Amino acid sequence: MVDLHALKGEMIQIFAGKYVKKGQVEGEKLWYWVKIIAGLKVKVIIWPEQEYKRSDRFILLTVDGVDFRTWEKSTNDSNMDPKAMSHKYKHGALKYEIGIDAYEAKIVWVSGPKRGAMGDREIFAEDGGLREKVPEGKVVVCDRVYTDKKTAGNNAKLALPSLADPGPLFEFKSKLRARQESLNGRLKDFRILDATYHHDPKNHVFVLEAVAVLVQYAMDHGHPIFPANTGDHYPDSDV
């Protein structure tokens, strides 16, 4: 196991978004450790396959597309590639799909990077993506941007906001969405993900995954995200 505390001095420049390369050897050393921590993702961020097949688990997780600003080269026709532009920031960005378990402080899904202009609904519906991963008869909580207005059947695995929800369920789903936003904010507590990213675009995924690992370790060791309810499951399909 990598001693994350021992790495703090070497990692801080990259994660603070302030790293200025002073030499090839130093740069390679710092990115080496970023990738080492990112490599822990397979041990730390785990999809609970058997847990999500339980008959009393209907709402499994929350999901959201999270944009991270990046520097983009201009093209001959535009000062920015439109496909790289985040509609949220009006700026170049990379997007990741992040999911957290509905009942545990566990990140269970990280997918990306995707180009900034790609919509949350499009990412969710990709071949091999989260919609296929979620078992039939189960749902994920999300916001309205995931709604497919053309093909209602594509919403079958989505627990969308609804004023028709019974009071306790409405409150539960609202808290889950707020909890997801809180997690997104923890990722951006690291300045390199909050500010515009100016490093090699190929390395962005390693930064995101390393930060996700660190956030998960923090939740596991004294800094859990707030719970959405007392732990009761919602097995009924009336969401």
Give the residue from 140, 132, 10 showing the smallest Cα distance to 65.
140
Q: How far apart are alpha carbons 35 and 202 in whole angstroms? A: 12
More confident call, 173 vs 75: 173
Tens digit of pLDDT for each residue in 222-234? 898 988 765 555 5
Predicted pLDDT of residue 75: 60
Tens digit of pLDDT for each residue in 132-152? 999 999 999 999 999 988 777
Q: DSSP of 97-118, one letter per residue? A: EEEEESSSS-EEEEEEEEETT-
Tens digit of pLDDT for each residue in 156-203? 999 999 999 999 999 999 999 999 999 999 999 988 898 888 888 899
- 43 and 160 Cβ atoms separated by less than 8 Å: no
At position 133, the amino acid (one-letter code) is K
What are the extents of the domains in the chain? 4-220
Predicted pLDDT of residue 220: 95
Tens digit of pLDDT for each residue in 20-74? 455 454 567 778 889 999 999 999 999 999 999 999 999 999 999 999 999 876 6
pLDDT > 90 in the chain, percent: 59
Structure tokens at 108: 């269970």
| Mean pLDDT, the chain, whole residue set | 84
Q: DSSP of 58-107, one letter per residue? A: -EEEEEEEEEEEB-----SS-SS-GGGEETTTTEEEEEEEEEEESSSS-E
Average pLDDT over residues 93-118: 94
More confident call, 118 vs 73: 118
The dihedral through the CA atoms of 126, 130, 136, 141 has a sign that is negative
Place of tokens 């700026």: 91
pTM of the model: 0.84
- In this structure, how many other beta carbons lie within 10 angstroms of the beta carbon of residue 63? 25
